[in-house]
Structure 1
């Protein structure tokens, strides 16, 4: 275990002006607070915060961060309090320690929910002070280094969490060295056999390739210095997990990898990077498509470098990264490197860090977006999506650069530009050509989004996008649309409940009882009633205690159809009624097919003259007629031989009725069914069958099979049904 004087010496080695008294005080306080606590390894618990502090001294961080590391588990695991730490060490250090303290007092339904809420708390603290993240990453790194002492089940969960969240987060903050170690340690515990295989192969390859690597280093250095460039050339080897991930992604073997070894060229100035690139490309042939300029277009984690691949000495493919010494420090230390040039984070105030660091700008934007999610599971899911690191760079027509994860679509692009543009998107152009919104974007694409005001994104988009921002926005828009629908239905149910109880309805009266009903707004209340979560009678009784709805109270309806007098609306969840069967024996007036074959309409929804139709041949059974918009046709997309080109015989179709199905959602009150059947009868429709389902006490869902003359006739009936106050929704069903 590191001693008190050793901690002070480590900090003073890079910061001679360190507050020695503060460091000593933190050491003694934490040691006493943790007392006799032990880790899973049997070591004193206090050894852990000291090792976390040691990792941060390697990053040359300021006194406050080192002290926070020493104290980071005191509030969570000892009797220490935030107030006590603030009194002894100041507000700044107390805020850092509290930001690192997990939530443990709330009762979460699932471990995942608790994980999501803890991570939300962490990111909110990070957005206020990025040093919280640096301590947390160092804490996770030391825990991963000692993970073999933890029980196996818990070990796997911690390793998965590290691989899913903390390693990518370190990468997003530009801390590549920490990310590599976190990934390799997770890999070791999650896939021990694969880890052992990769490690063995790497050791063998390194031994065989040692001389070749030295030769390439020497040749590169000689060529560059011969042109007057002061530089260093260093060979590097890919880490085990990145090798395994590439093998999995490209489905190739270890022997097929050609980029396990690479080389870094470090120069003094930015212009020297491009001079070195010129030397390399004029000395050895470049591999086409393998050049990337991350200096003119930096990654979102502040990474800057030139990447190229050439056919080098011995006809070997050689990967090169060319960067300045400053760029190299940023690539290794990431966001922590900014403090190296400002003599600590205390000097990075007033938004200076946000101005200097693309990574911190990204983090602040991401936290602002993610905190809009109420559901901790969704928060965690969207965070993982936002931590994608492989990127494509696309442009708006005005030249604005948009960085997106690999695999992103124009829908992701639209939401990256602005949420409003994403919600209203109806089409796009990629490089000047009209393209589907689900196209996969490539580096350099220019994307123009075509939008239409008033549009709502389809719920299906949620499964097509890859960015957390797009998925969260689509989910919110879908919820808002559904909420509006349910709220409209709920308002209708409540108002009619008041009318049947002969009580006056007013928004102000209902608003006054919202606290009693545990709802924040009228929309919340109406949506709850519309979804069947709250009965309209509860709202009535809250406003008018003792009021009741007379079940015999008449509603303004049309005279009841005598055919339905015997249909009781009781506690049954589902009711079926049948009036008459269609004339199955009549010939169907269709042209374009062999009349020796049996012909029938699609079982769910049928088809009517005016529909574009298609026939599907089923050997041994005949031909089934579907309207062209029927979703059931998707099942036959890969069977073009079964599709039959058919059309309506308009002459033969005259004076014939055809099957159609409509779906209704109605207010559940006496006389509603009579109104529905009366409308259909008044407009010359014929009911063949009705199915009723009551998902909640206040409304009923109906599926009605009709016989109508044609599409115009069907649409007229639907339009009349929609006009009735008791009908909340009426639409055609296409089977």
Structure 2
């Protein structure tokens, strides 16, 4: 564990004017506050904040950031308070530490909403001060370095969260070194076999090609020196996760990768960068389409460099990155490079934030996403914004718009302004009319045609790739159908309170809005109406002591297939093929939200499986039919909200019951097609109940297959595998 004097020495190496008293006070305070706390590794907990601080000293950050790293867990994990931190260390450090503190007593019904709300709090604090992000990323990096000490059941969740959120966030901030390490550590825990295989192959390749790399380095350096260009040339190798991602994205084998090794040329000036390109392109043949100039057009995260690929010595393809020392610093440390000390004097706060386009992008993105979305939507849209590579397009007046790769004119319109996106009806790309769903390319000039009073179609939400566009479309369509869903939700919630024997009052519901992570009663009712929130959770939020009673079903005799009679205390028993026909399953499966002695059945023509959001439709005198929420049959009941029952699955993990589902396959009419399809279904341990054939043409046959599967994941795996078979042209699920 790092000693007190070692922390001070690390900071003073790059900042001789460091506040030694402040650093010592933070060290002693955090050590006492964490006391005898231990980490999963058995080490003193205090070793963790010290390691986080050490990571940040490598980035040469200011005293306040280092002190915040030492203190970052004291409010969350000890008896320390924000007021005490403000008093002892000042409000600036207090604000940073508070921004890094999870909401302790977050009284939310949904754990997913609680996780998303904590993430929203973190990013809102980042929007106020980028140093919060730097500490959080260093915190996550050290936690990932020690993840092998964490219980196995938690590792995958933490690694997946790192890969989904923190690694791409580091990349968006230009901190490529940190991103690479976070990705590789996540990859190692999520897919250990694939990680080990690629590591072994890379090591074999390094030993095999070591002399070739040294030769190319020497030849390139000698050629530049002969032209009077002072340059540092070094070979580099792709990281395991980067290799894996490219193999997956392009569906190619390791042997087909041509750019595992690359070379970086670091020179003294921008002029030298272009001189290097002139030398390289004159001496060696250029690979077409592989030249990118990020100096004249920097990436959104401030990254600048020239990329090119040539056929170099020994006919070896050589990927080159050419940049200056300053560009190299930003490429390595990203946004942290804007917080470096100059001549021993700390940069002021304007310098910390004002020079970084990456931080400006992040702050605008956070401010945009924070407007009116639920915590879960905020998290979803943030992920969308983080992942994509970029294309650069222009407005007719020459304004540069950076968008994710795969973006459409709809995304472009929303990037210009929300009002432009909401009113978009057409587009011109490079002066020519083009569909709004066209994929934009680098350098496109885009002009948006607008119509006042236009409401964006709800279908656009699934077609755009930016979080801003998706958020705005969802908000606009939400407002357009808000009253309809709120009315349906009011009916469902009122009935839920009646079944619970509790009085419904909007003032009581308004008082518990924070627990439901919604801003208004209308938002709650609309969420229930849309199926995003379970009505039982609303009752529980108002009456925490309410314990929902499970009402479950038991199969009737075999002579009444498909129907189930309600019986309190029993389970919902599904028909499962046995040696003597269909047998009762002794392990019952309850569905919540049903009440009374009413017969229950699944919807015809498709059924429902666990993982589907389901609703019950009450037919007086006949019983209740369970439909998946996406079933087109439900439109017949839009004007009869009193018949809707809010139900949901309540199944323990690890149970393997069978549920009805229907798929339609368009298959090539050739011998063995049915055998191939049956084998796929059998290999996934699913049952086939019935098959109906319909000829479409001489070459194609349509098969409607009734299946029995465990859940939605099981069904989707079967569909995905079927789509990969050469005899299958199309596979779709039928939803009642």
C-alpha displacement of 1:574: 5.8
Look up the match of 1:587: none
Q: Distance in 2 between matches of 1:40 and 1:58?
A: 25
**Counterpart for residue 653 of structure 1:** none
Equivalence for 1:454? 453
Residue number in structure 1 paired with 2:311: 311
The CA distance in 2 between the partners of 1:11 and 1:530, in whole Å, is 51
The CA RMSD over aligned residues, in Å, is 3.0
Distance 1:366 1:345, change over 3 A: farther
C-alpha separation between the residues in 1 aligned to 2:526 and 2:328? 60
CA 1:379–1:369 in structure 2 vs 1: closer, same or farther (change >3 Å)? Answer: same
Query: Where does residue 360 of structure 2 map in the other structure?
Result: 361
**How far is 1:372 from its partner?**
1.3
Q: Distance in 2 between matches of 1:213 and 1:516?
A: 71
Larger radius of gyration: 1
Query: Which string of whole-angstrom CA distances, capped at 9 and with x for unpartnered residues, describes residues 345-377 of structure 1?
Result: 963435x54441110110110110111143111
**Structure-1 residue corresponding to 2:125:** 125
By how many angstroms is 1:451 displaced? 1.3
> Are the structure 2 counterparts of residues 531 and 67 from structure 1 closer, same or farther at C-alpha, using a change threshold of 3 Å?
closer
Q: Distance in 2 between matches of 1:467 and 1:122?
A: 21
Shift of the 290–357 alpha-carbon distance from structure 1 to 2, 3 Å rule, reads: same
| 2:275 aligned counterpart, secondary structure | helix
* Alpha-carbon displacement from aligned partner over 1:186-210 (angstroms, at most 9, x marks no partner): 0000000000000000000000111
CA displacement at 1:272 relative to structure 2: 0.9
Kindly provide the CA deviation profile for residues 73-119 of structure 1, in whole angstroms up to 9, marking residues without a partner as x: 10011111111111111111111111110112012333322221111
Deviations 1:463-504 (A, max 9, x none): 10111000000000001111256789999xxxxxxxxxxxxx
Distance 2:523 2:82 in 1: 43
What secondary structure, in the 3-state scheme, does the structure 1 residue paired with 2:393 have?
strand
Change (3 A) 1:344 1:389: farther
1:595 equivalent in structure 2 = none
Residues 257 and 17 (structure 1 numbering): CA distance in 2 closer, same or farther, change over 3 Å?
Answer: same
- Normalising to structure 1: TM-score of the pair? 0.67
In structure 2, runs of 5+ residues without a counterpart are: 491-504, 514-519, 531-616, 622-634, 637-694, 700-736
Q: How many residues align?
A: 524
Is 1:273–1:306's contact at 8 Å kept on the other side of the alignment?
yes
* Partner Cα distance (1:330, 1:480) in 2: 43
Residue 410 of structure 1 corresponds to which residue in structure 2? 409
- Quote the residue 1:273 is aligned against: 273
Match status 1:88 vs 2:103: no
Cα distance in 2 for residues equivalent to 1:94 and 1:202: 46
Q: Which residue of 2 aligns with 1:64?
A: 64
SS in structure 2 opposite 1:477? helix
- Tell whether 2:28 aligns with 1:28: yes
CA distance 1:407–1:283, shift in 2 (3 Å):
same
How far does residue 444 in structure 1 lie from its aligned partner after superposition?
Answer: 1.8
Once the two structures are TM-superposed, the CA of residue 443 in structure 1 deviates from its matched residue by: 1.6
**What's the counterpart of residue 382 of structure 1?**
381
Query: How far, CA to CA, are the matches of 1:415 and 1:206 in structure 2?
Result: 46
CA distance in 1, matches of 2:396, 2:287: 30
CA distance in 2, matches of 1:481, 1:309: 51
Query: Taking structure 2 as the reference length, what is the TM-score of the superposition?
Result: 0.67
- Counterpart position of 1:75: 75
Change (3 A) 1:514 1:346: farther
1:340 aligns to what?
340
Equivalent residue for 1:5? 5
* Alpha-carbon distance between aligned partners in 1 of 2:271 and 2:294, rounded to the nearest angstrom: 14
* Match of residue 628 from structure 2: none
Relative to structure 1, is the Cα distance of residues 489 and 21 closer, same or farther in structure 2, using a 3 angstrom cutoff? closer
Query: What per-residue deviation string (whole Å, max 9, x for no partner) do you get for residues 277-332 of structure 1?
Result: 11111111111100001011100000000000000001111000000000000000
Q: Distance in 2 between matches of 1:265 and 1:148?
A: 37
Q: How does 1:14-413 map to 2 (within 5 A)?
A: 14-340=14-340, 347-350=347-350, 352-413=351-412
Secondary structure at the aligned position of 1:13 is classed as: helix
Task: Write the distance in 2 (CA, Å) between the matches of 1:61 and 1:436.
Answer: 48
What is the deviation of 1:448?
A: 1.6
1:433 aligns with 2:432: yes
For the residues of structure 2 that align with 1:236 and 1:458, how far apart are their CA atoms?
48
Q: CA deviation digits over 1:155-183, x for unaligned, max 9?
A: 11000000000000000111000000000
> Do 2:14 and 2:341's aligned partners in 1 also have CA atoms closer than 8 Å?
no
* Whole-angstrom distance in 1 between the partners of 2:123 and 2:294: 27
- Tell me how far apart the structure 2 counterparts of residues 424 and 641 of structure 1 sit (CA, whole Å): 47
CA shift for structure 1 position 64: 0.8
Cα shift at 1:431: 2.1
Match of 1:481 in 2: 480
CA distance in 2, matches of 1:45, 1:459: 49
**Cα distance between partner residues in 2 of 1:639 and 1:425:** 39
Question: Do 2:392 and 2:443's aligned partners in 1 also have CA atoms closer than 8 Å?
Answer: yes
CA shift in 2, pair 1:142/1:289, >3 Å: same
Instruction: Write out per-residue CA displacement over residues 691-722 of structure 1, whole angstroms, 9 at most, x where no aligned residue.
Output: xxxxxxxxxxxxxxxxxxxxxxxxxxxxxxxx
Superimposed CA distance per residue, residues 517-571 of structure 1 (whole angstroms, 9 cap, x where no aligned partner): 8499xx97799699999xxxxxxxxxxxxxxxxxxxxxxxxxxxxxxxxxxxxxx
- Could you say which residue in structure 1 is the equivalent of 2:613? none
Deviations 1:601-642 (A, max 9, x none): xxx99xxxxxxxxxxxxxxxxxxxxxxxxxxxxxxxx96999
Tell me, in whole angstroms, the C-alpha distance in 2 between the residues paired with 1:420 and 1:440.
21
367-376 or 220-229: bigger deviation:
367-376
Distance across 2 between alignment mates of 1:532 and 1:312: 63
> Residues 431 and 18 (structure 1 numbering): CA distance in 2 closer, same or farther, change over 3 Å?
same
| Deviation beyond 4 Å, 4+ runs, structure 1 | 341-346, 484-491, 513-520, 523-533, 572-576, 638-642
Deviation at 1:438, TM superposition (A): 1.4
Change (3 A) 1:209 1:398: same
Q: Distance in 2 between matches of 1:6 and 1:348?
A: 25
Deviation at 1:388, TM superposition (A): 1.9
Distance 2:522 2:42 in 1: 55
